[in-house]
Amino acid sequence: MALSLLVFERTESAGWTAATYALTSLPALLSGVLLTGLADRFPRRTVMIGCDLVRAVLVGLMALPGTPLPLLAGLLVLAQLAEAPFGASQGALMPAVLGERLYERGQRVIMITHQSGQLVGFAVGGVLVVWLGSHVSLGLNAVTFLISAALIRVGVKARPVDAGADARPKRMHTQVRSAAALIWSDPRLRSLVALGWLAGFIVLPEGLAAPFAEEAGASAASVGLLLAAHPTGMVLGAALLGRASVGDERRRQLLGPLAVGANLPLLVYWAGPGVGVALLVLLVSGICSAYQITAGATFVLLTPADQRGQALGLARSGLTAMQGIGVAAGGLAAQLSGSSALTIGGAGLVGTLCAIMVAVSWARARQTGAGTIPLRA
C-alpha cells in the first residue's frame, strides 16, 4: 500500500501504480521455481533468517527519499524474490517443529493469522500510510523484517539439512526436475496440487470486485466488503474444519466436495445478484475454500523431507501463476462481454467442472494408495 501511494504521488498514473502492485507477486513465479531449492540445500532456519535480512536491507533502501522509480522497482523485485525461499523453508520446517500430528493444526493457525492480518491491513493500512507517510511506513516495514529474523534466531531451534537417499548436493536444474518428477509420479500429489490450483477460478471475484460493484450500482465502500468476504469465510471455515470432532481422515475425505463447494456458489453471479447476495456467496465460497489448508498439509506430509522445499516451491509457483492467469483472463472476458457478473458465473461453472474431475481423481488416488510415500496421520 505504501508503494502504491508513493508511485501514484510521483506519477499520478494508475497504470504505473497497478504495475508496481503487480511486482509484489510476479517475482514469486521465478523464485518459486529457481530459489526454493535453497530450503533443501541449506538449514531452513538459516535460509529464513537470510531472506529476512536481505529484505530488511532492500526495503530500507526503498524507504530512502528521492529513490528513482526504476531503482525502486528493481529493489522491489529483488525483495520479492526472497519471499519464495522463505515460505518454502517455513513450510518445510513446520513438520519438524510441530510433529506430523500437530502440523495441520499449525497450518490452520498460520492461515487464520494471515487472513486476519490481511483484513486488518486493508482496514487500517491506508490510514497508517497517510498518517506516517510512504517513506516512514517503508522504513517501519524494513524494521519488521529485522524483528522477524531476530525472532527466528531466538525462537527456532537450529536443525541440520534433511538427508535423503542421495545426500549429495544437487544442481538447481536437477532439483527442479527431481521435484517435478516426484509430483507427477504420485497421483495423490498430482491431485493435491490440482486442488490447490483451483484457486485460479475462486480468486476471480476479487479481481473483478470494483467493476462488479459499479455494475450493481453500489458505492465504492462496498468494494472493500467484497474483498473481505472471502478471507472472512476462510477463517470461519478453518475454525469449523479444525474442530476436534472432525478427524484428519475425515478432512481428507472432504477435500473433493469442499473444492466443488468453493466454486459452485459462484454460479449465482449469473442471476445478476446485488452486493448483499454476492457477499453471502463469497462467504460460503470462502468457508469451503478452507480445504486448501488440509490439501497443503497433506501435500507436505506426502513429500520426502529432503525434497519438501523444492516441491512446495513448484506447487506454490503454479498456484501464483494460476491466480494471475485467472484474474487476467477474467478481466479480458469481462471487457469483451461487458459484464463482470456473467464472467464470474462462467468461471464458477468451469471451476466446478474442473473441481469435480479433480475430486474424482483424489478419491481414486486415496483408495488405491498409489505411490510409494506413506501418509502418516
pLDDT at position 57 is 96
C-alpha grid cell for residue 176?
A: 527442479
Query: If residue 43 lies in a helix (H) or strand (E), which one and from where to where?
Result: none
pLDDT at position 165 is 42
| Burial class of 332 by CB neighbour count within 10 A (0 to 12, 13 to 18, 19+) | exposed
- For residues 156 and 43, is the Cβ–Cβ distance under 8 A? no
For residues 207 and 133, what is the distance between their CA atoms, to the nearest angstrom?
27
Torsion from C-alpha of 205, 210, 214, 215, nearest 10 degrees: -20
User: Averaged in consecutive runs of 10 residues, what is the pLDDT profile of the chain (377 residues)?
Assistant: 70 60 65 73 91 95 87 86 86 84 83 80 71 86 95 91 55 71 87 92 84 80 80 89 76 93 95 92 94 89 80 79 77 83 93 96 81 43
pLDDT at position 264 is 96
* 16 contact partners, CB below 8 Å, separation of at least 6: 7, 8, 69
Q: Closest by alpha carbon to 209, among 226, 225, 221?
A: 226
pLDDT at position 223 is 76
String of DSSP letters for 34-78: HTTTHHHHS-HHHHHHHHHHHHHHHHHHHTSTT--HHHHHHHHHH
3-state secondary structure of 169: coil
CA 112 to chain CA centroid, Å, is 13
For residues 104 and 97, what is the distance between their CA atoms, to the nearest angstrom?
12
pLDDT at position 167 is 46
193 backbone dihedrals φ, ψ, rounded to 5° = -65, -45
Place of cell 478481466: 331
For residues 131 and 152, what is the distance between their CA atoms, to the nearest angstrom?
30
pLDDT at position 96 is 84
Tell me the whole-structure pTM to 2 decimals: 0.72
pLDDT at position 25 is 63
